Structure 1
Amino acid sequence: MAAASRAVALPTVVEELLSEMAAAVRDGARIPDEHLLSLKFVFGSSAVQALDLVDRQSITLISSPSGRRVYQVLGSAGKTYTCLASCHYCSCPAFAFSVLWKSDSLLCKHLLAVYLSQVTSTCQQLSVSDKQLTDILLMEKTHEA
């Protein structure tokens, strides 16, 4: 997970933390406790909730032949949210309220779980046609309305 793979940059401290965590995983080690503590310091309780989503393998990367990629995260309450890692977006209400409206969080737990699943290479993968991906996104939009 190189920093260049994300079109919109996260704050430098988060980029560095995720890069260090990815390096530890690549080297075959577990994520060091100090990185987990830093994660909790930056993201608060969302960090623990995001790690739980990763542990439960709740993240699926859906890709299509055109190169479009979206993530779906099965939330702790059983609802599925769509995340776009390239622009740091999640369809959950917490993202709209805490990240966009109040600006008191950098990410919601679902989007953080997406980044952590990239670091740990634990997200499930699903390849679909471009039409199927469009239908998935339209279905999400219909449920929001």
Structure 2
Amino acid sequence: MKTSEAAKKIEDTAEQLIAEVKRSYSVNKQLSDDLLSTLSFFFQSSLLPALELVEKSSVCHVTSPSSRSLYQVIGASGTPYTCFPGLKYCSCPAYQFSVLRKDTHMMCKHVLALRLAEAMDKLKPLQVSDSEIASMISDMD
């Protein structure tokens, strides 16, 4: 199997797991032990820190009056990281190193937290001014 085919299958599996989180959480308001085990196997060391960020309401959907939006995840240290889920992008150093440079992870814990928060309907809404959202974008590393 070619690398791009394998990467596509891995990405498809991740999408199926996130869809299962959404389905399961909408019905039961919790994740089953079997689903948590599968998520842990697939996402490995990123899962527990990501779930902690979701439970601490650290995942914000930031919107402005001009309908611009982005996501911000407040990391465990209190540092805000800007995320774009469609791009699976995060402004954190782990994303730069583990996802882009080393290619050892498909996403950082902040993007995983964002995806889980979306699926579990636990995004914290945050309305800011147009200048504030522009500043958030321009301050990204």
Q: What band does the TM-score fall into relative to the shorter chain?
A: 0.7 to 0.9
Q: Equivalent residues in 2 for 1:33-48 (5 A)?
A: 33-48=33-48
3-state SS, counterpart of residue 82 of structure 1: strand
Shift of 1:119: 1.0
Q: What SS does structure 2 have at the residue aligned with 1:22? A: helix
Give distance in 2, aligned partners of 1:95 and 1:52.
18
Identity among equivalent positions (%) equals: 36
Aligned AA for 2:86? S
Offset, 1:64: 2.4
Shift of 1:65: 3.6
Runs of at least 5 residues in structure 1 that lack an aligned partner in the other structure:
1-9
Partner of 2:31: 31
For residue 84 of structure 1, what is the aligned residue in structure 2?
84
- For structure 2, the residue ranges without an aligned partner over 5 or more in a row are 1-9
2-structure distance, mates of 1:69, 1:33:
34
TM-score relative to the length of structure 2: 0.86
Q: Cα deviations across residues 114-142 of structure 1 (Å, max 9, x unaligned)?
A: 0010011112101223332112222x23x
**Other-structure match for 1:21:** 21
Output the TM-score relative to the length of structure 1: 0.84
CA-CA distance at 1:69 after TM superposition: 1.9
CA RMSD between the two structures: 1.5
Relative to structure 2, which stretch is displaced further, 38-47 or 24-33? 24-33
Equivalenced residues, count = 132
